[in-house]
Structure 1
């Protein structure tokens, strides 16, 4: 061993002796290792195959501090059989630096690493003879990597099969590649021990994605759908193909989507503003709202374009998948092709346009009106604060006359479709109190977090299923919370609050409580007018800035309440004005007709439709069968999950089902 190699390892007397001794030992071992490898690579050494020589040279290179690049192969005369191979230092060769002009035109560019280094290993063989080292050059023209930089060398970086599987599993679980890599760094004990770099992790994930696509991305999706059909007979998917047999559009939903739609399909929000940019396909999820006010998924589609024909195909596929049950209200953005398709496929569904999209687009049409506070106030009233069609017309005329807007093209167009966007025309239609497609926007945001702009169709479907799984987990947790406790009452002995806490889900109870507080403390009865029989008309006025007087008709015999604000009709929750009347009448129980079943805890069972014999208007036998099938399957499934943990409960359920089977056979 050269003396210089030992002298350079002598520690400074002021350093920690133990720490330096440890470093010295590691460096000596590394030095001995590289020298040992050099002896195994000297000229004349034999190898059974080129890979053996390459592997040994890579080990030597890592121990010394450089990376290896494969050079030129040489073949026998007039043959494709290889007779010689050249392995080089990765800094071999002439500089490939581009002109400054070329570099400046790019945001990112590769560094120039070539430094005319001559270090190399040249191996060759004669016909039917072993491989031998012909030339081994160890001198380098550049600085070698330090011992704490060896893990950065390209030759030293390799993702093992185990780490590859871990990384893929983390990414498939919805964890971003960078976060998955950081996790593995910590688990391995630092960046120098993980075995690869961040960019290697990204390359691996991209390779996995590309391997899926290379097998046919659409085929991967269809195979996945088919496997879902096999494992779950309730899974449904449909595709639209062009004349050449290429996929044009497709839609899918699982069995749970269908069962949720039976319970909560009265309201659907549908938005197509999110695109998967790898193929420029349009993502079109169907979103609903459950009894906790949470998002639920009814299905999803990919569309190639936004033509009326594409939307018509999709809506028909959706109806077919949902037993031909039409939603009561559907929210969309202001797309004319979508409007046309809804009129054709959902003729009896109340179509609402998203107010958020309209307000976002409106300023571009208002011009100088944007600086008129009074105009903006009138416009806002027309949008969402008019409580009757007559009030809307009066407010609209005031706005048009005051600012001389009778020839305003955009406003005249909006007036023609006023029934689709002004709340004045939808207060008697149930819509969960929504005014926009914000539910779809939040769903799109969830999908964007799961999937990037370069996501393949297959990966998107997997990501979509993960989002839906999380939503359903959240619903289950909220179901459990409602089942195992009740919210605290702001007024402990109030019978209406006590009943509401027992009947409604926690989220809806809080809304009811707010309305009751506002009604009893924030409103006053200004007049009571006797009507026919024992009915009365109340006039209620707020103590706040809203001086509007609402009229409420209360029929004592039928316990029916009708308020001019129509909050119960469109939201399913009694308004403050109606609750003020109940308080004034000393009613201690919420009338049965004033409890919307979709907001109650019993909706979690998914069988209230069957048990109460309720069905939507115009439903036929086929729809009733589908309601029964889906609801009962969900009910039995819940029983199985509850009983599976104990032998006694398993036997109890099995005996009960066998008893039912015997009765059906007889």
Structure 2
């Protein structure tokens, strides 16, 4: 017999302790007895459930029946009843039922009061008070933990980490009345309450709410004949305002993340005056064909009031190329070099001389200075390795003026390097979404990502206005750039100044006021080793102070190159003309999008929620003040008194003044046609490379692969995951 001390409010000489109970500790238990009365059903359930927790079993309601003026039911052990297996089911399932007789019979009177009419305390199974927290009836997430879960989930923190923080705060799993699965269930329900039940409906409702808050919020939804979501595009007010200044060059890419419906995520991306990526709107498309991309580009053009970008960068895709030519006929179109070079192993990897071909190809692409040099070298490569029947290389040569650095560097691309990797803005979403993200979750995390991006831009503005990199030289034009440019752009100027040390110049010729120089650039590797020498031509006009270089770095990036600096110093130019200081990179301009207050969807934006936040904040402050035993005891008494007062609803009057009802309450809107979720989309397999995944997915797959190797006795592979950094440098 277990060692159990029972203290009852009613005289009870019977020993009701269960036989062979494990983990039952000495405790003071109020035992239910016949005749006990309670004010409500909630009160009697709370009493019996508390008793069950101390004894070590769960509670369930059974055999409820109603009669005139009275209701009868039983509160019993969770093991009451007999398990009935389904003969036709081949799937085995677990059951906890042992037909346990332990229960109390309850009679509910017409006024809501309850009484115990019969008590049975004997169990036919062992009890375990230490494990009571695992019983369903004892699992309960308190309001503080609910608040923590919702706030951290809306911030994009993985639930496993949120739960672990609660465990650490509670000093152990045994001190929590809920488990990780309970947290997941609660978060799932909370998301439904925030965003509705249906993915597509939630997306549309979100757009409607955002447009009510800001008339400049833009969205377009494309549906099929069955009413299913087909394509969608949207852009917030701040993105539309930023496009007016930074929308000269746009990067469009749909090869990154998809959602659970396999709808590619297609963002429109630009760069601001700090070189940071900016979002100019994004879409979710159901197909990767010309018709779909035409719809998306037209929607975006309408959003931007018909102002097409001067230049646009996309990956190599015939469908996108056709759509860009149709919608943006006057825009310069460039193909992303990173995407093209990424395909080299797949397209050429099976050739016998692959390594030699790859080396030759990279040398031609990155090191060619003149167009004739590139074309002659390409023809020689095709002939030497017998590649004349390779369709992919033939198509690349036909499109060479759209992707080879030699041809595209004469055009301004706002700092997007020819080696620009496509996941610039996609990495921006890495910590927020992945390929399993539902549309409901996406609209939550989309706002979080934009808030984060805005905060980073604000911080960069503050840093540029309040501090700057120290001058490296005494040249006046360096001071000009320090005073005008943001820190990120001024740092690029200083990099060119450093590289100027490896440049030598010589006068080639003089014609009137124009002098032409040869500048030899000694290019070095990452370790400082000599790679090669390249000669560039720089022309300088003494009268107009006009200077040009054959490397075209200024035309491409808007930063004067090291070769131009060398000649400016040679000519003793104190102050360079203002045309070489682009307003696009200045830090002292007040940009229009700074004044746009974005009405991001606040997940806890109600008045009650704000009051709740203020109360919680006040409670934290008071808890820190109560730093002695006397203050602690006083605070607990005040809380208990306030809790008792607030729990008595009869003492609080209800305002029934109908004049306080908003007019919106009288408006009855027409029932809108339900928007069905999108059908699962099968990608046509373009582009040939695998669709990129988020950083979280890459790490997860890497760990899973390592575990498999270790389980098979194979040495673990190198699990370093390299993140390619954003590269402003032009390969000369």
Pick the TM interval, shorter chain: 0.7 to 0.9
Alpha-carbon offset, residue 315 of structure 1: 0.8
Q: Which residue number in structure 1 is paired with residue 28 of structure 2?
A: 32
Q: Which residue number in structure 2 is paired with residue 200 of structure 1?
A: 182
Check the 8 A contact 2:57/2:77 in 1, yes or no. no
Q: Which residue number in structure 1 is paired with residue 458 of structure 2?
A: 476
Check the 8 A contact 2:518/2:538 in 1, yes or no. yes
Alpha-carbon offset, residue 212 of structure 1: 5.0
Instruction: Note the 1:8-407 alignment, pairs <5 A.
Output: 28=26, 31-33=27-29, 36=30, 38=31, 40=32, 42=33, 53-71=44-62, 73=63, 84-85=73-74, 87-90=76-79, 93=82, 112=94, 114=96, 116=98, 118-121=100-103, 123=105, 132-134=116-118, 136-146=120-130, 149-188=131-170, 190-211=172-193, 214-369=196-351, 372-407=354-389
Change (3 A) 1:563 1:90: farther
Within the candidate set 587, 592, 604, 2:573 is matched to: 587
Match of 1:489, SS?
Answer: coil
Check the 8 A contact 1:46/1:132 in 2, yes or no. yes
Query: Structure 2: 5+ residue runs without aligned partners?
Result: 7-23, 524-530, 599-732
Change (3 A) 1:372 1:448: closer
Alpha-carbon offset, residue 328 of structure 1: 2.3
State the Cα RMSD in Å. 3.5
Alpha-carbon offset, residue 91 of structure 1: 8.6
Separation in structure 2 between the aligned mates of residue 454 and residue 3 of structure 1, nearest angstrom: 51
Check the 8 A contact 1:213/1:456 in 2, yes or no. no
Q: Which residue number in structure 1 is paired with residue 522 of structure 2?
A: 543
Q: Which residue number in structure 2 is paired with residue 615 of structure 1?
A: none
Residue by residue over 1:526-555, the C-alpha shift from the partner in whole angstroms, topping out at 9 and shown as x without a partner, is: 343112x21011111123432221111111
Match of 2:588, SS?
Answer: helix
Change (3 A) 1:367 1:87: same
Alpha-carbon offset, residue 298 of structure 1: 0.9
Q: Which residue number in structure 2 is paired with residue 648 of structure 1?
A: none
Instruction: Note the 1:605-620 alignment, pairs <5 A.
Output: 605-606=590-591
Separation in structure 2 between the aligned mates of residue 123 and residue 3 of structure 1, nearest angstrom: 26
Match of 1:274, SS?
Answer: coil
Match of 1:541, SS?
Answer: strand
Q: Which residue number in structure 2 is paired with residue 614 of structure 1?
A: none
Check the 8 A contact 1:89/1:117 in 2, yes or no. no
Separation in structure 2 between the aligned mates of residue 97 and residue 32 of structure 1, nearest angstrom: 43
Of 365-374 and 416-425, deviating more is 365-374
Alpha-carbon offset, residue 262 of structure 1: 1.2
Q: Which residue number in structure 2 is paired with residue 524 of structure 1?
A: 504
Change (3 A) 1:120 1:285: farther
Alpha-carbon offset, residue 187 of structure 1: 4.5
Change (3 A) 1:120 1:139: closer
Separation in structure 1 between the aligned mates of residue 422 and residue 389 of structure 2, nearest angstrom: 35
Alpha-carbon offset, residue 223 of structure 1: 2.9
Q: Which residue number in structure 1 is paired with residue 558 of structure 2?
A: 572
Match of 2:533, SS?
Answer: coil
Q: Which residue number in structure 1 is paired with residue 493 of structure 2?
A: 512
Check the 8 A contact 1:447/1:467 in 2, yes or no. yes
Residue by residue over 1:397-433, the C-alpha shift from the partner in whole angstroms, topping out at 9 and shown as x without a partner, is: 1211221211122211222222222112211111134
Alpha-carbon offset, residue 468 of structure 1: 1.2
Residue by residue over 1:217-243, the C-alpha shift from the partner in whole angstroms, topping out at 9 and shown as x without a partner, is: 333333332333233232222222333
Match of 1:550, SS?
Answer: strand
Residue by residue over 1:77-127, the C-alpha shift from the partner in whole angstroms, topping out at 9 and shown as x without a partner, is: 9x9x985446333497569899xx979xxxxxx8x5637362531537699
Check the 8 A contact 1:119/1:140 in 2, yes or no. yes
Residue by residue over 1:25-52, the C-alpha shift from the partner in whole angstroms, topping out at 9 and shown as x without a partner, is: x965xx222xx2x3x2x45666787655
Residue by residue over 1:602-634, the C-alpha shift from the partner in whole angstroms, topping out at 9 and shown as x without a partner, is: 34x12xxxxxxxxxxxxxxxxxxxxxxxx4x85
Check the 8 A contact 2:35/2:115 in 1, yes or no. no
Match of 1:240, SS?
Answer: strand
Alpha-carbon offset, residue 557 of structure 1: 1.4
Separation in structure 1 between the aligned mates of residue 326 and residue 439 of structure 2, nearest angstrom: 29
Change (3 A) 1:221 1:367: closer
Alpha-carbon offset, residue 435 of structure 1: 4.4
Separation in structure 2 between the aligned mates of residue 557 and residue 309 of structure 1, nearest angstrom: 53
Match of 2:126, SS?
Answer: coil
Q: Structure 1 or 2: larger helix share?
A: 1
Separation in structure 2 between the aligned mates of residue 318 and residue 413 of structure 1, nearest angstrom: 29
Alpha-carbon offset, residue 338 of structure 1: 1.5
Separation in structure 1 between the aligned mates of residue 312 and residue 565 of structure 2, nearest angstrom: 29
Match of 2:349, SS?
Answer: helix
Separation in structure 2 between the aligned mates of residue 543 and residue 278 of structure 1, nearest angstrom: 51
Of 404-413 and 382-391, deviating more is 382-391
Check the 8 A contact 1:188/1:194 in 2, yes or no. yes
Q: Which residue number in structure 2 is paired with residue 414 of structure 1?
A: 396
Alpha-carbon offset, residue 506 of structure 1: 0.9
Q: Which residue number in structure 2 is paired with residue 499 of structure 1?
A: 480
Alpha-carbon offset, residue 204 of structure 1: 0.7
Change (3 A) 1:316 1:344: same
TM-score by length of 2: 0.70
Alpha-carbon offset, residue 345 of structure 1: 0.6
Separation in structure 1 between the aligned mates of residue 386 and residue 3 of structure 2, nearest angstrom: 95
Separation in structure 2 between the aligned mates of residue 142 and residue 512 of structure 1, nearest angstrom: 77
Separation in structure 2 between the aligned mates of residue 458 and residue 46 of structure 1, nearest angstrom: 48
Separation in structure 1 between the aligned mates of residue 42 and residue 353 of structure 2, nearest angstrom: 76
Check the 8 A contact 1:553/1:563 in 2, yes or no. yes
Check the 8 A contact 2:259/2:439 in 1, yes or no. no
Separation in structure 2 between the aligned mates of residue 343 and residue 513 of structure 1, nearest angstrom: 39
Check the 8 A contact 1:125/1:132 in 2, yes or no. yes
Higher relative contact order (CA closer than 8 Å, sequence separation 6+): 2
Of 203-212 and 47-56, deviating more is 47-56
